[in-house]
Structure 1
Amino acid sequence: MPATSLADWLRAEPDEALAELLRTRRDLSTPPPSDTTVLATRAGTPGSVARACEDLDTATLAVLDALLVAGADAATVPVSEVRALVGRDVAGSLAKLRARVLVWGADDALRVPPAARDALGPFPAGLGAPSPALAATDVEARLAEAGEDERAVLTALAAGPPIGRTRDASFDVSLSDAATPVQKLLARGLLLRRDDQTVELPRELGLLLRGGVAFEPATLTEPELPVHPHRTDTVDETAAGEAMELLRQVESLLRSWSQLPPPVLKAGGLGVRELKKLAKDLDVDEPRATLLAELVVGAGLVADSENTTPEWVPTTLTDSWLASPAVQRWMTLAQAWLELPRLPGLAGGRDAKDKPIAPLSEELRRPLAPAGRRRVLAALAELPEGAGVKSVDELVQVLAWRAPRRGGRLRDETVRWTMAEATALGLVGLGGLTTGTRLLLDDDRAGAVEALHDALPTPVDHVLVQADLTVVAPGPLETDLAAAMAAVADVESAGHATVYRVTETSVRRALDTGRTADELHAMFRDKSATPVPQGLTYLIDDVARRHGRLRGGAAGSFLRCDDEALLAEVLAHPVAGEYDLRMIAPTVLISSAPLADVLEALRGAGFAPAAEGPDGRVVDLRPSGRRLPGRARTARARPGEPAVLSEEQATRIVSNLRAGDQAAARRRGSAVRAPGGGGKDTTATLDLLSRATLEQREVWIGFVDSRGTASQRVVRPLRVGGGVLEGANQERYPLHRITSAALVED
């Protein structure tokens, strides 16, 4: 049967199949191809073929390998030959390959793009090149003559790859003079010499050693994924406990960095010393500290200050986040992690220059990371509700089988990192997805929040005060009580039951917030389910007795005057109340307002104040001119995955493809090309289009769209005017974009 070209195959495909192809292989639609020939050429490039193979499973890739072994990239191949190489039915895999146009043609004349050999490597199925010398011989008989040591070499090469490096390849000796197994095999013709140090196992012998098929049958079946059955509520409650622990650690991080922001490294990122300090302060390991830092920056809660001495500083979003309910805070972090275009797990490793990779540095940026996370979670979503994987390594094997060419060298590590991070976030519990995570993956954020709320234990309204000045919270505390405990005590150990310790420092901290000793006594008396020990009462009273004897305050400006009567006059004026003026000494007034504002108001009230500098001299505070705020540096956007092609967009592109094919097929006669490639002078084109309108004739046009993409159309003009050509199918073409035109002969 004569071979069918890929372009002809695509032209014969229905519009729905082409639209699905464009949505599956999204790179084919950017920019939109002008006709099927362009689409076929683009689909056959090595880069496009490699991208199309990324989502194929091992069994489907095996069929494509078998087609290459059979030579389908150079000539047509019957499906029976492919089936014999694979050793099983290949109809399902061929359907997937045809849908991606990695294979085309009837079953008795299959073809693959020549670029598939470049995309899949030089040794399809791990087999070597055929040997003409073995084609007309009894390969089994030759193999039977080989010794055990020779067969061991052949067996190792048969497993793939089929090449080996050895010094024995440089010797050309007869069988009687051969001393090593490789020399004997070369002499027998059972190995091919590629160069002085490389030998290759012939394809015929490789297939024979594999039992006549190109693949081990077990490798073509997806590995089983053993799971542990759990109750759904058990999974949800376990994950909810992890979520609450994460929130506590993020809160501690934000408060710590609010007080002492860590510096930004010159090359960007967080330094080793700062990471170790964070891990120690939060009592976590460094990978967990890295994840927390990446989360707060990814959620916008912390940002680079970008000043002369840049620091990682909490943003204004931090206060609103801390004031939000726990489930809303969790949702912010979970959504940030799902969309985070970075791999926190890379931190601590080495880059291409063997330098350590710092957290929050640019080296962690991976635009495809969100897609990788969702792929792992989607695999868990296929399990029954409540079921969890027994081993992460078994999940790694399953995902590697489903897409062995996706993810590069970090493919398996990304799965492990995703499981660890999802567990820390409370998205995964006991190896399985929570109810909230399943809803979140379906973009039901409200449902996910409600599911987490239901999984959390009911907040308790009491604590247990111990004689050793520790306070046990037997569960998550109510919001007000949690805030009070955070103010008056330090967390000693966290978990389902949090242990606080009250110290002199923590009591002083509570008094600094404005609470009084009586209020602290009342809080412990009302909220403790156990008697308040006398030691705690004495501690609070002792600290309160010494607290506040020395006081300090903030002032934006001051006024001083030796004339006490003048100061009394100022205090009596309404301007004193407006600008919060108060006397702290007989000759000194202070205000919380800036000095320039206070002086302007006093001058307006009839006084004549003057400003003085630190040395007592009069200074001029008048503004020196307008100032514009500095613009923050914006990071350059990095390319990520191509945008998802909508069904409507795919249909429109297919319609243009068909129009381009029609134009190429029906164009006859010489084209009238517009001067300057269709520039301002469109007289010739306008005359031809006007003639076609009067004669009711179809016209072939070439034009360039707004994105610079050239294409062709066959149009039946209805009207030409106002700088636009209107066709019978309501299409409109600006005349200045039409580059050439020709009448279509009947």
Structure 2
Amino acid sequence: MTLTLASVIRSMDTDAMTRLLTLRPDLASPAPRSLTEMAERASTQASVRAALDGLDSWQYRVVLAIAALGDDSVEDLASHLIDPPIAPLPGSDAEQPASSDDQPGTEPTSAAEISLPTRQDLDDAVAHLVDLAVVLPEEGSLHLVGAAATVLGPNPSGLAPVSAQPLTKAEIRERLEAAGPTVLPVLRRLMWTPSGHVPHARRPVSLETATSPIDLALAHRLLRPVDNETVVLPREVSLLLRGGRLFETPVPAAPPAWPAPRPAARTNSAALGTALEAISAMSALLEAVETINPARLSSGGIAKRDATRALTRVARGDAGWLYLVLAASAGLISADGRGWLPTTTADKWRQDELWSQWLALRAGWLAIPQTPGELSNTLEAPAPATARAWRQQVLSELATAEPGTPVDPELVIARIAWRHPRWPVPEAAPVLRATLEECQILGLTALSGRSDLVDALEDPGMPARQQAIILQSDLTAVAPGPLTPGLAADLALLADRESTGVAGVRRFTHSSLRRALDVGWTGDRVRQWWHDHSMSEVPQGLLVLLDDVVRDHGRVSVAAAGAILEVDDPSLLETLLRSPAAEELGLRKVAPTVLAAQADPDVALAQLRELGLSPVARDSHGDIFNTPAPPRARSTGRAGGTPAPGTNSHSDPKELAEALSSLPTFNDSRHLLAMLHRAQADASWIEVTWVRDDGTTVADTIKVMAVAKGAMRCVRRGGGGVVIIPVPRVSAVRAAAQ
């Protein structure tokens, strides 16, 4: 019986299926309802392409070799990938070290300069491919699944398909000698890419009439025409010219090694300082956004002029744009009809411990949708899906190094290129360099070395928050370190920021002190606050400045009102002030016939009507207008808590594997047919799981009436009528409950 992917998946034990679902998470989301559905999903090109994208360079080299050689054994693979190849023909390119096209982003490397893979490396790679269900082991040979062969293309490793009448090695050598030395350069051009363009490739050519090197190669069958414009180098000729090698350059079984780590204490100390600077810069940005209230562009994003103004006291250049997009991705700022403002998440972030604040920045950095090196004020514009992937990949690669390890951008790019040979790493090299520059801004790297902050989950030693400031005679205040949230909020209210950083400088001005008085502070409270939090005597200049501000404050009073009530009868006005509605509406007398209410006009109208009055609504010009419809909140969730379609009920691969393994199944069609014929003979009800025409899997309780021509005619229990079910679509059969 020929081995198929479906039969392999059906025969898997729980451990093997758990490994498969872990290595290929797309098979588990949404959770398949049967092993047949899982096998169908695993055999699609999209799923196989995702599995191949996860292979490193050595594993990808092995799967290409399996595709090139066909159903071959591990020993045959080893002879081409591990064992020394046979001697190439004199003068062929196989004798010369060739440039690498198989390792994007790396310099050409000869076999002597890298550590060649061992047989154990080959066995490990084959085992991984088997666990992925991309390669199926069958009677000592390795079979590549059909979808993988399609994804890899028609000429894996640059070899043409097997010839209909292949030449032997002896015949190839004889014909090369007979054709003469002029033919060899032509064949060498096609040695690693088998097809080439030749006009009138199917013209009649004989040994007697052949004069040019191409005519000689065609006459001796060293080249084979495919169509009138294309020729191909036969597989056996290519392998002989290569000296038995499948690939032009060797590939190591491990990525380029990290250099020896330096003592990590100095790197971690510098990284901690950088992390504190990042927290301080983000605090400054939130303060600036709250003050400026930047406008939101109609196309999404923040007005560039406002963004530049907000970033003036935060950071310059690309670092400033990084903090801006980081604030948006972390949910610290958001836009509404009034523009961009800090969110409630930002209020909570300001109250968090320093370590929790930095962890939020690291998580927000990984969620930034904009491409590294291309950050701007277009915060809500569509971004490529690869932006997050590159940041995640760089962080994962840094995590493989020891703390203190020197970080060379080119080495990081080379390691990522080895780890993902199917990714466009050379084209993304500028993006990866920009990502590493972002790592320096956040403290993931410091002093060109990897820090503990790359993967730290617990506080590495953030300093304690300070509860005092230094007041200076030039009307400034200096924070000697990170301040407690309450002290930082009060200082932001009382003084304007002049510089960012952990030891930030703020200046007290007329406008800043007036800002504090506007929100309810008094002159005595400001003096007491200075006395409580200053590390030295309060400078006389600050006291003089405060007296000037207090003297001019409050000469004009402005009160807020939600609605104005005009009452013609003064007695009715007094009645309203003594009514229960007065407290609910926040009524206050501002003139003999005028009341101010804190409630909105529609609420005031409803309350007055409940009192038996007949009020009218007027606009700002005094004209009567109809009462507007009551406001309604926009729906944001599903009614009744209905889960979204496609919700995965099995988040754990092991639980899903156990659930799938517990389903009754069968190993071959003969077993299935035997069960169906037995159910027909016994006239018993059975439950079958099968796949409909639209691809959905259903379970029906049926009684089999007849089985013939690959289908069964059956009747559903409960008056469901007669149904025809194709036998190949049945994935499970079990006895029905009585």
Answering whether residue 455 of structure 2 is matched by residue 438 of structure 1, we say yes
Q: Residue 646 of structure 1 aligns with which residue?
A: 653
Q: CA deviation at 1:713?
A: 11
Contact 2:9 2:35 in 1 (8 A): no
Is the Cα–Cα contact under 8 Å of residues 561 and 597 in structure 2 kept in the other structure?
Answer: yes
User: Who is 1:61 aligned against?
Assistant: 60
Report the alpha carbon displacement of residue 500 of structure 1 after superposing the two structures with TM.
2.2
CA–CA separation in structure 2 for the residues paired with 1:641 and 1:371: 23
The residue type equivalent to 1:647 in the other structure is K
CA distance in 2, matches of 1:49, 1:226: 31
What's the counterpart of residue 397 of structure 1?
414
Q: Distance in 2 between matches of 1:284 and 1:640?
A: 44
Residue 487, structure 1, aligned to residue 487, structure 2: no
The separation in 2 between residues aligned to 1:642 and 1:128, in whole angstroms, is 46
Shift of 1:94: 1.5
Residue of structure 1 aligned with 2:398, choices 359, 380, 385: 380
1:514-533 equivalences in 2 (<5 Å): 514-530=520-536, 532-533=538-539
Q: Is the 8 A contact 1:237 1:455 kept in 2?
A: no
2-side partners of 1:642 and 1:200: how far apart? 52
Is the CA contact 1:660–1:713 (under 8 Å) kept in the aligned structure 2?
no
What residue number does 1:214 align with?
246
Q: 1:223 to 1:570 in 2, by over 3 A?
A: closer
- Aligned partner of 2:709 in structure 1 is none
**C-alpha distance in 2 between matches for 1:93 and 1:713:** 45
- The CA distance in 2 between the partners of 1:631 and 1:118, in whole Å, is 46
- Segments of structure 2 that go 5 or more residues without pairing to the other structure are 83-117, 705-716, 728-732
1:709 to partner: Cα distance: 0.8
Q: Which amino acid aligns with 1:377?
A: L
Is the deviation greater in 662-671 or in 602-611? 602-611
CA contact (8 A) 2:267 2:449 kept: yes
Distance 2:131 2:422 in 1: 18
Are 2:195 and 2:231, in contact at CA under 8 Å, matched by a contact in 1?
A: yes
How far residue 398 of structure 1 moved from its aligned partner, in angstroms, is 1.3
The question of 1:94 aligning with 2:126 is answered: yes
Q: Deviations over 1:657-685 (max 9, x none)?
A: x614367514249769xxxxxxxxxxxx9
Pick from 444, 456, 462: which aligns with 2:462? 456
Alignment match, 2:545? 539
CA 1:271/1:551 → structure 2, altered by over 3 Å: closer, same or farther?
A: closer
Q: Which moved more, 1:494-503 or 1:659-668?
A: 659-668
Alignment of 1:490-501 (within 5 A): 490-501=496-507
Change (3 A) 1:109 1:348: closer
Deviation, 1:647, is 0.9
| Cα distance in structure 2, aligned partners of 1:711 and 1:564 | 79
Provide TM-score, normalisation by structure 2. Answer: 0.71
Residue number in structure 2 paired with 1:680: none
Aligned match of 2:315 in 275, 279, 283? 283
CA distance in 2, matches of 1:217, 1:91: 20
In the alignment, which residue of structure 1 is the partner of 2:145?
Answer: 113
CA 543–272 in structure 1, closer or farther in 2 if over 3 Å, else same? closer
Q: Give 2:697's match in structure 1, choosing from 698, 702, 709.
A: 709
How many equivalent residue pairs?
A: 670
- The alignment partner of 2:144 has SS state of coil
In structure 1, distance between residues paired with 2:289 and 2:216: 71
Structure-2 change in CA distance of 1:473 and 1:691 (3 Å):
same
Query: Could you tell me whether the CA contact under 8 Å between 2:650 and 2:656 is conserved in 1?
Result: no
- Cα deviation, 1:283-333, whole Å, max 9, x if unaligned, reads 3335652x444444444444453xxx6844544444444444444444444
- Which one is further off, 160-169 or 206-215? 160-169
1:176-206 superposed Cα distances (whole Å, 9 cap, x missing partner):
9999999998899877777788776665666
Cα distance in 1, alignment partners of residues 583 and 42 from structure 2: 77
Say if 2:198 and 2:229, in contact at 8 Å, map to a contact too: yes
Q: Cα RMSD over matched residues?
A: 5.4
Describe the SS at the equivalent of 1:455: coil
Partner of 1:681: none
CA contact (8 A) 1:67 1:112 kept: yes
Report the Cα offset of residue 224 of structure 1: 2.7
Hey, what's the Cα distance between the residues in 1 that align with 2:157 and 2:451?
A: 40
Does the CA contact (< 8 Å) of 2:407 and 2:450 recur in 1?
A: no
Q: What's the secondary structure of 1:241's corresponding residue?
A: helix
SS in 2 for 1:344: coil
The 8 Å contact of residues 239 and 426 in structure 1, kept in 2 or not, is answered as: yes
Residue of structure 2 equivalent to 1:726? none
Distance (Å, rounded) in 1 between the aligned partners of 2:612 and 2:27: 77
Counterpart Cα distance in 1 of 2:13 and 2:483? 63
Greater shift after overlay, 50-59 or 559-568? 559-568
The answer to whether the 8 A contact 2:666-2:672 is kept is: no
Residues 401-456 of structure 1: CA distance to partner in whole angstroms, max 9, x if unpaired?
1232257887656655654555544555566776566354xxxxxxx3xx1xx522
* Letter paired with 1:362: P
1:47-103 superposed Cα distances (whole Å, 9 cap, x missing partner): 333222122111111112112222x1xxx3233322122135222221112222322
**Is contact 2:370-2:387 (8 Å) kept?**
no
Relative to structure 2, which stretch is displaced further, 48-57 or 124-133?
124-133
Match of 1:137 in 2: 172
The within-5 A match list for 1:411-430 is 415-416=432-433, 419-426=436-443
1:406 & 1:332 partners in 2: Cα distance? 29
Residues 660 and 712 in structure 1, CA contact (< 8 A), matched pair in contact too: no
Superposed CA deviations along residues 581-616 of structure 1, whole A, max 9, x for unmatched, are: 445556654343445666777888899987665455
Would you tell me which structure has more helix in proportion to its own residues?
1
CA distance in structure 2 between the aligned counterparts of 1:41 and 1:603, rounded to whole angstroms: 67
Task: Give 1:52's aligned residue.
Answer: 51
Contact 1:581 1:590 in 2 (8 A): yes
Q: How has the CA–CA distance of structure 1 residues 642 and 584 changed in structure 2, closer, same or farther, with 3 Å as cutoff?
A: closer
Q: Distance in 2 between matches of 1:271 and 1:157?
A: 56
Kindly, what percent of the aligned residue pairs are identical?
Answer: 30
Instruction: Identify if the C-alpha distance between structure 1 residues 234 and 77 changes in structure 2 by more than 3 Å, giving closer, same or farther.
Output: same
Query: CA 1:538–1:375 in structure 2 vs 1: closer, same or farther (change >3 Å)?
Result: same
**Residue correspondence of structure 1 range 99-498 to structure 2 within 5 A:** 99-105=131-137, 108-127=140-159, 136-138=171-173, 161=193, 207=239, 212-215=244-247, 218-227=250-259, 229=261, 234-258=266-290, 261-270=293-302, 275-280=307-312, 282-286=314-318, 288-289=320-321, 291-305=322-336, 311-338=339-366, 340=367, 343-345=369-371, 348=374, 358-364=378-384, 366=385, 373-384=391-402, 386-405=403-422, 415-416=432-433, 419-426=436-443, 438=455, 440=457, 448=458, 451=459, 455-498=461-504
Tell me the distance in 1 between the aligned counterparts of 2:158 and 2:300: 44
Preserved contact between residue 557 and residue 594 of structure 1 (Cα < 8 Å): yes
Kindly provide the CA deviation profile for residues 532-590 of structure 1, in whole angstroms up to 9, marking residues without a partner as x. Answer: 54444433333333333233221223455788788678767887666544455566543
DSSP-derived class of the 2:596 partner: strand
1:507 lines up with 2:552 in the alignment: no
User: Following the alignment from structure 1 to structure 2, what is the Cα–Cα distance between the partners of residues 5 and 603?
Assistant: 78
Measured in 2, the distance between the counterparts of 1:217 and 1:640 equals 46
Provide the secondary structure at the position in 2 that maps to 1:545: helix
What TM-score comes out, normalization by structure 1 length?
Answer: 0.71
AA partner of residue 50 (structure 1):
R
Counterpart of 1:478, as a letter, is T
8 A Cα contact 1:704 1:739, kept in partner: no
In the other structure, the counterpart of 1:696 is none
Shift of the 195–358 alpha-carbon distance from structure 1 to 2, 3 Å rule, reads: farther
> In the aligned structure 2, how far is the partner of 1:597 from the partner of 1:14?
67
SS in 1 for 2:380: coil
SS in 2 for 1:380: helix
Q: For 1:48 and 1:578, how far apart are their aligned partners in 2?
A: 62
**Letter of the 1:345 counterpart:** T
| Secondary structure of the structure 2 residue equivalent to 1:104 | strand
For 2:527 and 2:277, the matched residues in 1 are separated by 29
Deviates more, 1:486-495 or 1:99-108: 99-108
Aligned residue in 2 for 1:679: none
1:629 aligns with 2:633: yes
Q: Distance in 2 between matches of 1:128 and 1:68?
A: 12
